[in-house]
Amino acid sequence: MNAEEKLQKCFESIRRKTDFVPEIGIILGTGLGSFADEIQTEKIVNYSELEYFPISTVSGHSGRFIFGKFMGKNIVIMQGRVHYYEGYDMTDVVLGVRIINLLGAKKLILTNAAGGINQNFSKGCIMAISDHISTFVPSPLRGKNIDMLGERFPDMSMVYDENLLNIAKSAAKKNNIDLKIGVYAQAQGPNYETPAEIRMFKALGADAVGMSTACEAMAAKHAGMNILGISCITNMAAGLNSEILSHTDVKQTAKNIAGNFKTLLRTILEEI
Ligand code: HPA
């Protein structure tokens, strides 16, 4: 079955469960899933209930779509995402983003845990993504173009929406949160990078590194969505200090940032 047929099947199986039309989609990254408690839930669909939908295998990620309202706005949350390093094809990795688009959402907020590369960052800070480097992972647009989503050769000169970025900046200011702005590089994972790789990413202009998001943003941009990306810097990247990286620490730090992160996201959603 090709990517388009799979998408259609998944979309139809979710539509059999709910006719909810979201305005905004949100993907919650590692340790940030608790934001879902803030919305008035109307319907939950587990990924496992959907024909052909890949199941996230990572601890710290549940796997479900949560449909509900926040400040009167219709929202769909993906609590837990699917990563390339889990072994799935890129078209499976971005299936959720494409479903959110087909359900009707035009705006997408992507969140993640990431390692800080910019020396002005520190563990625990929050960065809004201004641009990304996805060159080190395959494009989710590879293969036959899905014409109903977008064109064969989409422009990527402005992946992250300027208006949403400005809303994020003003939301941070309002809450006295020191929001960093920077370039996110996607690595394949699941291993963390070597210090030499981090020096390479730094030389290429990256401010943070993670294992998700850029491919999702690319698929969303292809489909014409307005995208905001937010990274929680859970650690400084390999070699930038003497800390040994571990998923347990990443999850714990993400949980520690979650308070500020939720405040920021709440204010962004109010102002969107
Ligand atoms: N590298 C890649 N992905 C990550 C990191 C990192 O240092 N921290 C959290 N996700």
Instruction: Tell me what the mean pLDDT of segment 133-160 comes to.
Output: 98
Helix (H) or strand (E) holding 228: strand 226-236
For residue 115, the CA-to-ligand 1 centroid distance in Å is 4
Q: Determine which residue's CA is closest to atom 7 belonging to ligand 1.
A: 115
Average pLDDT in the chain? 95
Specify the range with the lowest mean pLDDT, choosing from 29-33, 105-109, 229-233, 241-245: 29-33
Among 192, 233, 251, say which to mutate for ligand 1: greatest number of ligand atoms within 8 Å of CB.
Answer: 192
Cα separation, 51 vs 64, whole angstroms: 13
Residue 61, pLDDT above cutoff 60: no
> How many CA atoms, within 13 angstroms, populate the side-chain half-sphere of residue 139?
13
Nearest ligand 1 atom to the CA of 210 is: 3
Q: Determine which residue's CA is closest to atom 6 belonging to ligand 1.
A: 115
Q: Determine which residue's CA is closest to atom 2 belonging to ligand 1.
A: 210
Residue 60, pLDDT above cutoff 60: no
Taking only the tens place, the pLDDT of each residue in 182-201 is 999 999 999 999 999 999 99
Instruction: Tell me what the mean pLDDT of segment 140-153 comes to.
Output: 97
Residue 120, pLDDT above cutoff 90: yes
| Residues in contact with ligand 1 (CB, 6 Å cut-off) | 113-115, 187, 192-193, 209-211, 234-235, 237, 245, 250
How confident is the model at residue 1, as a pLDDT? 87
Taking only the tens place, the pLDDT of each residue in 14-28 is 999 999 999 999 999
Nearest ligand 1 atom to the CA of 193 is: 1
Please list, residue by residue across 14-28, b when 16 or more beta carbons sit within 10 angstroms of its beta carbon and e when fewer do: beeeeebebebbbbb
Confidence of residue 125 (pLDDT cuts 50, 70, 90): very high
Nearest ligand 1 atom to the CA of 237 is: 7
Residue 30, pLDDT above cutoff 70: yes
Instruction: Tell me what the mean pLDDT of segment 145-151 comes to.
Output: 97
Residue 177, pLDDT above cutoff 60: yes
Among 111, 184, 211, say which to mutate for ligand 1: greatest number of ligand atoms within 8 Å of CB.
Answer: 211
Candidates 159, 178, 183; CA nearest to 168 is 178
Among 186, 234, 240, 255, say which to mutate for ligand 1: greatest number of ligand atoms within 8 Å of CB.
Answer: 234
How confident is the model at residue 80, as a pLDDT? 87
Residue 163, pLDDT above cutoff 80: yes
How confident is the model at residue 31, as a pLDDT? 81
For residue 21, the CA-to-ligand 1 centroid distance in Å is 33
Cα separation, 134 vs 105, whole angstroms: 24
Among 245, 251, 253, 256, say which to mutate for ligand 1: greatest number of ligand atoms within 8 Å of CB.
Answer: 245
Confidence of residue 110 (pLDDT cuts 50, 70, 90): very high
Taking only the tens place, the pLDDT of each residue in 34-46 is 899 999 999 999 9
How confident is the model at residue 265, as a pLDDT? 96
In one letter, which amino acid is 114? A
Confidence of residue 33 (pLDDT cuts 50, 70, 90): confident
Specify the range with the lowest mean pLDDT, choosing from 56-65, 88-97, 171-180: 56-65
Q: Determine which residue's CA is closest to atom 3 belonging to ligand 1.
A: 210
Q: Determine which residue's CA is closest to atom 5 belonging to ligand 1.
A: 115
How confident is the model at residue 57, as a pLDDT? 65
